[in-house]
Amino acid sequence: MIRRGGEFLGVLAIAMLFIASFGGNAVADTGDQPGNWRLTLREPLVIWAEPQDEGYANELADLLGVKIPDFVDKLGVQMPDSVRILIAPNRGRFRYLTRGLPDWTGGAAYPAQRTIVLQSPTLYENKGQFTVTALHEVVHILTDHRGPSRLPRWLSEGLAMYLSGETMYKNRTPLGRAVVTGRTYTLDGIEEMMRFGPEQAQVAYLQSINFVEFLIDRYGWPFMAELIEGYRTGEDPDQIFERATGRPLFDVEVAWHSSLRDHYRWYRLFEWINFDMFLWVSASLLVVVSGGLAIIRRRRYLSSQEEGEGADVYPLYLDEEPPDGEELIDDNQIWR
C-alpha cells in the first residue's frame, strides 16, 4: 500500500543479503530467529518465503503471472526485468524491513529496487487481503520502476487500489461523511497522507480511487497511460490534461469535487444526526408506538364487549325489591 523511493536502499540491501544469502541475524533485535528461506522463481518474479508460506508463494506467482501482463497493457508501461517479493513470516520481521512507515501499513513497494515486502498471509485478516495487497504493490512497481517516482500520490495509490480490486475500500461511508462535513482533501493535500492518522489516510485513499475512477470513466485507459508517461517524463500536469481533456488539471479537479458533492448529497443526514438525538428520537418513537398499541387494545376490548351484549349473563342486583321474574338468592339482598 506504500511506495517509497531510494532512501531505504542501504538498509533494504543489507537485509536482503542476510535473508537471501545467509538467512542471517537481520532481525535479532526482535527476538525472532530467521528460518530456512525458500526461493520461488517465475520470470519476472523472484519470491522469498519461509517453508510455511511456500505454498502461498507459488499461488501468488501463478496469479501474478496472469495479472502483470494485463496491468502492463492497461497502464502502457514496460515490463520490469524482475520483481522481488519478500514474504515476512511474522510482524517483527515485517516491521524491521519496513521500519519508518506508518503502523497501519500492510505492505510496501520499493520501485527503485523492484522489491515488495509483504506479511505472511496468516497475518492478514484473510487470504484475500494478502492477494489484494500483493497486487496493489505490484502496480506501484510497474508505474515507478523506470526512474525516480514522479507520479502524484493520488494517481499512484488510486491506480493501485483500482487494479487490485481492494474490497476494504468498498465502504465509501467515510468518504461520504468527509464530503458533507467539508473534510476532504485537495489533490495536493493527498500528497501528505503518509503523515495522516488511519482515519484521515482512509479518506485520502478513498478520494484517490474515486478520482481515478472519475478519469477512467470519462477518458479511458489510453488517457491513464498518457498521464503516467507524462508524469514520468516530468511534463507539466496542466499540459497533459489540456491535451487529453481540453481543460487544465485544476478545472478537472473542480468538476470532480462537484460530482462528489452531488453523489453524496444524501449523506447530509450525518451532519445533524448524533447520539443524543438518536436516543431522543428512539424514546419518542417508543412512546408513540406504545400509545398506539394501547389504543388498539382498548378498541378491541370495547368491540368484544359490544359483541357480547346479547349473550346469557347473570347481572347482580343490590336493589331492595327484586325485578319482575327474579328471585331472592340470600339475605344479602342479592337478586338474580
pLDDT band at 318 (very low <50, low <70, confident <90, very high): very low
Which of residues 271 and 23 earns the better pLDDT score? 271
Pick the range with the lowest mean pLDDT from 29-33, 120-124, 169-173. 29-33
Pick the range with the lowest mean pLDDT from 20-24, 195-199, 257-261. 20-24
pLDDT band at 176 (very low <50, low <70, confident <90, very high): confident
CA dihedral 57, 61, 62, 67 (to 10 degrees): 130
pLDDT score for 37: 85
Q: In this structure, which amino acid lies at residue 45? A: L
Burial 285-320 (b: 16+ CB within 10 A, else e): eeeeeeeeeeeeeeeeeeeeeeeeeeeeeeeeeeee
Its CATH class, for the domain covering 1-149, is alpha beta
| β-pairing verdict for 2-3 and 107-110 | parallel
**What's the pTM?**
0.69
- Domain(s) of CATH 3.30.2010.30: residues in the chain: 1-149
Q: What is the mean pLDDT of residues 110-121?
A: 93
pLDDT score for 10: 40
Nearest to 117, CA basis, from 87, 138, 90, 147: 87
> DSSP letter string over 211-232?
HHHHHHHHHHHHHHHHHHHHHH
* 179 close to 260: Cβ distance less than 8 angstroms: yes
Q: What is the pLDDT of residues 46-89, one digit of tens each?
A: 999 999 999 999 999 999 999 999 999 999 999 999 999 999 99
Nearest to 83, CA basis, from 18, 14, 144, 34: 144
pLDDT score for 3: 45
pLDDT score for 311: 46
Nearest to 108, CA basis, from 134, 76, 144: 134
Q: Is 111 exposed, middle or buried (0-12, 13-18, 19+ CB in 10 A)?
A: buried
Q: What is the pLDDT of residues 278-295, one digit of tens each?
A: 455 566 677 777 777 777
d(CA 250, CA 236): 12
* 244 close to 193: Cβ distance less than 8 angstroms: no
Range 284-289, long-range pairs (CB < 8 A, 24+ positions): none
Q: What is the pLDDT of residues 125-146, one digit of tens each?
A: 777 889 999 999 999 999 999 8
Q: What is the mean pLDDT of residues 236-262?
A: 93
pLDDT score for 32: 43
Run of H or E residues at 301: helix 275-307
Q: Is 277 exposed, middle or buried (0-12, 13-18, 19+ CB in 10 A)?
A: exposed
pLDDT score for 326: 54
pLDDT band at 106 (very low <50, low <70, confident <90, very high): confident
SS3 content of the chain, % helix, strand, coil (to 5): 60, 10, 30
pLDDT score for 279: 52
pLDDT band at 315 (very low <50, low <70, confident <90, very high): very low
Strand order in the sheet with 115-119: 2-3, 107-110, 115-119, 83-88, 45-49, 38-42
Write the CB contacts of 58 (distance below 8 Å, at least 6 apart in sequence): 40
